[in-house]
Amino acid sequence: MPWGDPRSFKFVTNVGLITSNGKFGNNVMACEFTHHVNYRPGIIVLGVNPKDATHDNISKTKEFGVNLASIKQNILVSLAGRNSARKIDKIKFLKKLGYKFFKAKKINTLMVEGAVMHAECKVIKKIRLTDHTIFIGEVVSAYIKQDLSPLIYHGGKYLKLGKEHKKPSKKKREEWKKLAEKFSR
Ligand SMILES: Cc1cc2nc3c(=O)[nH]c(=O)nc-3n(C[C@H](O)[C@H](O)[C@H](O)COP(=O)(O)O)c2cc1C
């Protein structure tokens, strides 16, 4: 299911602005494969293409920052996702455009100002797949600086969160609970 395939376009994700520091200096890339997969300890996994400078950086330092993009950061996501630190100093370029970064608390990377949530992670496992590598990171610090809405990525488009579904009535939920009990093992 390659990128752009109608089947992979059915997924809905956040976009992580992944910060790292290593061979290519401080860097930030856009990463739709950013997923929270465990609560205690907090674990976040990334899928990163080995061709990305971020891959070299994280492999070297075994740490990365996750900055979940807000709805105001769609252009930043595009810029971080269409330029490589292999070719340009992306942080300097982005700073020139007015984007702001701050120092992480527990790891040696920058973090992105204006993100929905920040998580500083240390790599506990690296799994090489074919076109991507999975970095499994334990969260060593996570915080929210501003109450913002996350950017949604779906079908190659940047979207806003939609309206919440109305909950079924209490009566209906009671009915289903009773019915489920009839099938108890
Ligand atoms: C919205 C968006 C999502 C992306 N998601 C991923 C991803 O999940 N994994 C990945 O390896 N690259 C992803 N990319 C591409 C990288 O961000 C891109 O290759 C970037 O130039 C890598 O930067 P670097 O070489 O400085 O690390 C995405 C790009 C965009 C625009």
Span 95-150, pLDDT tens digits: 999 999 999 999 999 999 999 999 999 999 999 999 999 999 999 999 999 999 99
Task: Tally the domains of the chain.
Answer: 1
Report the nearest atom of ligand 1 relative to the CA of 158: 1
The pLDDT value given to residue 184: 97
Q: Which two tokens stand for residue 88?
A: 């340009």
The pLDDT value given to residue 124: 98
The pTM for the full model equals 0.97
Query: Domain span at residue 164?
Result: 8-182
Does residue 163 sit within a domain?
yes
Residue of the CA atom closest to atom 16 of ligand 1: 81
Does residue 129 sit within a domain?
yes
The pLDDT value given to residue 93: 98
Does residue 1 sit within a domain?
no
Does residue 24 sit within a domain?
yes
Residue of the CA atom closest to atom 23 of ligand 1: 84
Q: What angle do CA 144, 14, 121 make, to 5 degrees?
A: 55
Does residue 133 sit within a domain?
yes
The pLDDT value given to residue 28: 98
Cα(106) to ligand 1 centroid in Å equals 24
Q: Which residues approach ligand 1 with their CB closer than 6 A?
A: 15, 27, 29-33, 47-49, 52-54, 77-78, 81-86, 90, 132, 153
- Looking at residue 170, which CATH number applies to its domain? 2.30.110.10
DSSP 138-152: EEEEEE-SS--PBPE
- With a pLDDT cut of 70, the percent of the chain lying above it is 100
Contact 145, 70 (CB under 8 A): no
